[in-house]
Structure 1
Amino acid sequence: MSTMTAEKSKIRVALAGNPNSGKTSIFNELTGMSQYVGNWPGVTIEKFVGIRKTDDYELEITDLPGTYSLSPYSPDERVARDFLLFERPDVVCVVVDASNLERNLYLVAQIVELDLPIVVALNMIDIAKARGITIDIDKLSALVGAPVVPTVARSGVGIDQLISSIIDVSQKDYCPVPLNYGKVAERAITEIEHTISSAPPLAMKCHTSRYLAASLLANDAEITSMILSADPDAENIRKAVGRIRMKMETRLGLDGESMLANRRHGWASGIYHEVVDHPRHDEPTATDRIDDVLLNRFLGIPIFAGIMFLIFWATFTLGAYPMDWIDFLFEHLGSSVERVMGAWGVSEMLISMVVDGAVAGVGGVLIFLPNIIILFFFVSILEDSGYMARAAFLMDKVMHKFGLHGKSFIPIIIGFGCTVPAVMSTRTLENREDRLLTILILPFVLCSARVPVFVLFTSALFETNQGLVLFSMYFLSIAISIFAAKFLKIILFKGLSTPFVMELPPYHVPALKGILLHTWERAYAFVKKAGTVILVGSIVIWALGSLPPGAEYASAESLAGRIGAFFEPIVRVFGTDWKGAVSLLFGFIAKEIVVATLAVLAKSGEDISLTTALGSLYTPLSAYAFMIFTLVYTPCIATIAAIKKETGSWKWALFSIAFNTGLAWILATIVYRGGRLIGLG
């Protein structure tokens, strides 16, 4: 079954399973990689590949998106189905949730029809035991016809045994026996197999005529299209399959899709009741008791808002001290570099480029690293505990009122980290209009790249209630997102959203390893961007502020000043000068560059802190208007590219730039002008 390399035998392994079954945790344990893990469905939205080497074998492991069925309803589910069907891995490791065994076995019932060797990873066995669920592993293995390995992916339990089972199965030319659909249906499947045997291109690529025949019997639109496009005699095949299907449905009084689904559910239910010792159902679980409070119709949303406010308060309160230390470090670094380079006889222009450009720009961004670390540490706790899935559930009713699918809240949550993966995660939405609408409102979500801008202005101009100011930005980002969704729904997308059905995972104590890993990844990405994109951007901005020769640094006569003067009339209406205009213009590259630009231009080469410099340029009202504009205006280049990729059109990417920037200008102007009218200016 496996393919040989010069040194080791290579085994291609696919990890398949329901959403939130622990596939990615097992993938990370098997490969040593650190793909993001979240305690809610839909975290994995594309396949990832990793390698695990043993003494004699090399396992090429592919983590597939979670799917409840091989009849896909969304793009990510289609990725999983197509990989299993056409890539033909040597072994399929089906990850099933031991605490929800019956539901997970439905997917197993479909995978055994693919004529592939399988191993079942019975994951979350610890949770099942905690609930009083006892599973007869040997009997489950015998009934499924494949090895079953109990695992606890979060702690690595059972991983070595799983690897051994995968290797053993790959060396045996054996596949599980697919379930029997009954005499009438089996005869129909056999007849369809014979009928499509004249479609060799697809049959040879798929290698499993039984699965294709069963899919045609269920009138699977995608498989039907594949079969017909692969055969020159397509029309005759379509008519023959239609006659076979009608004959079977007449005899059974049931359509093919329902018949197959009923048989698979019956198979899963039968095995479940054979192997599971049922726990008592009269006592509510700990998860039930917690949900009674956190999902209460009156208390749920206020509790969620309170939790988020406490996180923002902690972000400022705990982050204030390390922020001051880093600011102090970069101030002294700049002075030391200037002194040393001067002693070496380096030209004043080069010294200025390093000190006023590189050090000031990068330092102006890196001082917010503690805030990023604290924010994502607490958010990771909420995600890993299972609470974020409840947040999506709580917001479902609100989302529907504004024309959004309840499942859209998951990309919104991901968008608080970065908009690019959030846009990609919309693949979990089944309906294209829901997916497109969600993509268009995601740039309004306050991503981590904007956090330094808001922390900077909040620290400089709002001495009190800093946590409240930052919380208001997050609140506004969600409010603007859902109101924009309502507007776009009325104007562009008038169809009805599909119902929202989402599994609520059990609560569990967050794993410190996972939390620290996720926080580290966010911090590393932030520092990496500071050392690359922001460094280059800072030097470019310094150059614009220094040229042409003879112009005073960062003055209106510099190139930066001339560029800013062109855009200043647009931003002046909400209280911003040319320096703010330039920072916003460069923020199109990456939002952190807004801070770097202000750090280079606002201080004008003076030995003062950035917060002091901003305090002389902005009032609290104009600062708040600037923050709103930054929150709403055009997405960064990376997000624009993601929108183009996911929508397949530049039309929507350009629409996002124009719509967001126009709305940002309107809202910032209303806040600033309205504030001045009532005496806040």
Structure 2
Amino acid sequence: MATIALLGNPNVGKTTLFNALTGSNQHVGNWAGVTVDKKEGFIDKDIKIVDLPGIYAMDAFSNEEKISKDFLKSDEVDLIINIVDASNLERNLYLTSQLTQFNKPILLVVNMIDVARSKGININFDLLSKKLGVKIMPISASKKEGISTVKDFLKSKDYSLLDLSINNRHNFESMNEERTYKYISNILNSCITKPNESKITTTEKIDKIVLNKFLAYPAFLFILYIIFKFTFTWIGAPLQELLASFFDGPFSSMVSSLLSNTSPWFQSLIVDGIIAGVGGIITFLPIILTLFLGMSILEDSGYMARVAFIMDKIMRKVGLSGKAFIPLMMGFGCSVPGIMASRTLESEKDRKLTALILPFMSCNARLPIYAMFVPLFFPGHETLVVFSLYFLGIIVALSIALLFKNTLFKKSEEPFIVELPEYKLPEVKSVIFLTWEKGKGFLRKAGTIIFSISVLVWFLSNFSFSGMVEMDKSFLASIGTFLTPLFKPLGFANWQNSVALLTGLGAKEIVIGTLEVLYPTGLEASLTATLTSISALSFLTFCLLYTPCVAVIGTQKKEFGGKFAAFGAIYQFAVAWIVSFLVFNIGTLLF
């Protein structure tokens, strides 16, 4: 079997090329002894492509650089595919120069040739290939241009032809960084022609606004606000209401009719337990899909890298680099991949600090809670309230980071390097895929964890040691009554709310599923009868900030150990209690 290493700088299209070459024939694991993703794919079962982490150089400071260097040293590698950006060759080729030290055949895949053409950049690939001493194949991975040529060459397995000018390739070995860049620049000047007039590109025009020192932050907040407006006012919420009316009305009535001849306890399990618990959660799928449609568009357009860049100044004040904001932004989707993405941070201090504050970022699992409470208690102000909750999560995260910077983590932060890719119109296929991946994960959770806990909640809320009983005499009522004094100072003390927060440790969506089961006469009417607007806001604040779900705790334990995970769970509960206490009591005084 031939083994091919795929390597390149971040944002050069490496993942797109990997997916195009391997299709669905791929899997993800971890490198031995290191919790960094190892992606492998296959062509015709006898060609293995290993997608190495995106890096800028082989200086072996980060885990990703060490992994790449060690793997390329091994006898396992038959070929290195180095993918570069056609419009940024001078920077990208520095990594290429370092790859020559491994004495492996190198195929240089020059991507985004369509972007280069649009800028008037003409590249003499034959001359460039001769001067660099590597075979070059120009492609546009996003438009599938040249992919079949690369694939056919890999299938031929005749990689010895790549050693075109071995003596010229070893010229790089005796050069330092400055001389290497100068050598690359001289080569490119002889192989590339550019238009004499440097036109201001669309990317530069947009960046004059979104990277402006006065406009950058307002622009970022405005974009988030529009996404929330799109989700909670214009599209997502109306679709959620339609789906909820279907589950609460025709669907529940139909199931009740079909089960009319079965025993009462079984009817209750299906209608009051499973449909109320799982069905009540599934109705929020349109909101989740709508929000992540917006987030996927931002990600695919190239704007997310700008967010990390503009946040660098703020992040450094709390002891982190702007690079740490990337996993924090991923936390808006789910804290688990966000914590895993913190592996890319060079220092142990940054990785741990990021993992500790990341769960304060409002993940998609909290959306059903917002979607239920906010329209009910703050009609007409849905977008502003939800936007404020997300913003509060960011403020709390940065405040805790500042506290830990001066106590637990008194070390200097790492340097920040981020690629600012060209803006591009998001690809419909890519955006739909990213959005559906989030929705699929939500449905998978609804069919497993949420289903299981909904059944458990139904059982505990309908039985005691004496058998089937009224809900206020059940196991769950006893548990909730024991917990209620803890939440009394926060303004939402009753046993149903207490139990919902407890089950929310399994998955935050279950908070609503549990309340649907515990308020069988009607959730909205029961909530408005037991909560005020201020106590509802306190409840929302607590749900935003308190101990994350077991999946997040498990990921923290896997990455940093049990003591770290336990500390994270306990301190986050304490922070949530304190902030909710302030929200309720200050709000009560003011309103």
Q: CA deviation at 1:70?
A: 1.7
In the TM superposition, residue 260 of structure 1 has moved relative to its aligned partner by 3.5
CA drift at 1:300? 1.1
Deviates more, 1:272-281 or 1:89-98: 272-281
CA distance in 2, matches of 1:33, 1:130: 32
Aligned pairs for 1:365-444 within 5 A: 365-444=281-360
Normalising by structure 1, report the TM-score.
0.81
Distance change in 2, residues 1:597/1:89 (3 Å): same
Q: What is the 5 A alignment of 1:543-622?
A: 543-548=459-464, 549=466, 552-555=469-472, 557-576=473-492, 577-601=494-518, 603=519, 605-606=520-521, 608=522, 610-622=523-535
- Contact 1:181 1:260 (8 Å CA) reproduced: no
Instruction: Confirm or deny that 1:313 pairs with 2:229.
Output: yes
Name 1:322's counterpart in structure 2.
239
In structure 1, how many angstroms separate the alpha carbons of the residues matched to 2:25 and 2:483?
44
Q: Which residue of 2 aligns with 1:78?
A: 66
How far apart are residue 551 of structure 1 and its match? 5.4
CA drift at 1:617: 2.4
Q: Deviations over 1:106-164 (max 9, x none)?
A: 11112122122221111111111111111111112222333211111112111101112
Name the structure 1 match of 2:572.
660
Match of 1:193 in 2: none
Structure 2 vs 1, CA of residues 419 and 139 (structure 1 numbering), >3 Å: closer, same or farther? same
Residue type matched to 1:29 in 2? A
Letter matched to residue 658 of structure 1: I
- Matched position secondary structure for 2:259: helix
State the secondary structure of the residue aligned to 1:450. Answer: helix
Does structure 2 conserve the Cα–Cα contact (< 8 Å) formed by 1:633 and 1:663? Answer: yes
Q: Distance in 2 between matches of 1:34 and 1:545?
A: 46
Greater CA drift, 322-331 or 477-486: 322-331
Q: CA contact under 8 A between 1:385 and 1:507: conserved in structure 2?
A: yes
**C-alpha separation in 1, matches of 2:363 and 2:223:** 18
Name the amino acid aligned to 1:628: T
Is the partner of 2:94 in helix, strand or coil? helix
Greater CA drift, 493-502 or 121-130: 493-502
CA deviation string 1:41-89 (max 9, x = no partner): xxx9622112232xxx633222111011122222223222222223632
SS across alignment from 2:134: coil
Structure 2 Cα separation of the partners of residues 126 and 35 of structure 1? 28
Contact kept, 8 Å, 2:320 with 2:414, in 1: the verdict is: no
Supply the AA of the counterpart residue of 1:512: V
The CA distance in 2 between the partners of 1:35 and 1:384, in whole Å, is: 22
Identity, % of aligned positions: 40
Of 43, 47, 57, which aligns to 1:69? 57
SS in 1 for 2:418: coil
Aligned to 1:39: none
Distance in 2 separating the partners of 1:82 and 1:335: 62
CA contact (8 A) 2:105 2:159 kept: no
Give me the whole-angstrom Cα distance separating, in 1, the residues matched to 2:389 and 2:301. 25
- Are 1:470 and 2:386 counterparts? yes
* Unaligned segments of structure 2, at least 5 residues: 28-34
The partner residue of 1:25 within 16, 36, 45 is: 16
1:672 is matched with 584
**Contact kept? 1:119, 1:166, Cα under 8 Å:** no
Q: Partner amino acid for 2:237?
A: A
- Deviations for 1:212-234, whole angstroms, at most 9, x for unmatched residues? xxxxxxxxxxxxxxxxxxxxxxx
Q: In structure 2, give the amino acid aligned to 1:112.
A: T
CA contact (8 A) 2:121 2:194 kept: yes
Equivalent-residue separation in structure 2 for 1:351 and 1:361 (angstroms):
14
The 1:145/1:512 distance shift into structure 2, 3 A limit, reads same
The corresponding residue for 2:90 is 102
Partner Cα separation in structure 1 for residue 539 and residue 11 of structure 2: 40
1:365-423 CA-to-partner distances (Å, cap 9, x unmatched) read 11111111110111111111111111111111111222221111111111111111111
* Deviations, residues 643-676 of structure 1 (Å, cap 9, x unaligned): 12222x2221111001100010011111112212
Corresponding residue of 1:503:
419
The total of aligned residue pairs comes to 579
Instruction: Pick the structure with greater CA Rg.
Output: 1
Q: Distance in 2 between matches of 1:295 and 1:534?
A: 42
One-letter identity of the residue aligned with 1:384: D
Following the alignment from structure 2 to structure 1, what is the Cα–Cα distance between the partners of residues 212 and 232?
Answer: 30
Counterpart CA distance in 2 for 1:534 and 1:570 is 25
C-alpha deviation, 1:273, in angstroms: 2.1
Contact 1:294 1:300 in 2 (8 A): yes
Indicate the residue corresponding to 1:167 in structure 2. Answer: 155
Where 1:352 maps in the other structure, the secondary structure is: helix
Contact 1:137 1:148 survives alignment (8 Å): yes
Aligned position for 1:265: 181
What residue in structure 2 maps to residue 646 of structure 1?
559
TM-score where L is the length of structure 2: 0.93
CA distance in 2, matches of 1:662, 1:619: 23
User: Aligned with 2:406: secondary structure?
Assistant: helix
Matched, 1:455 2:368: no
Asked whether the 8 Å contact 1:147–1:165 carries over to 2, the reply is no
Is the CA contact 2:225–2:383 (under 8 Å) kept in the aligned structure 1?
A: yes
Return the alpha-carbon distance in structure 2 between the equivalents of residues 171 and 304 of structure 1: 47
Partner of 1:52: 43
Quick one: distance in 2 between partners of 1:102 and 1:85?
25
Matched, 1:279 2:195: yes
8 Å Cα contact 1:17-1:95 kept in structure 2: yes
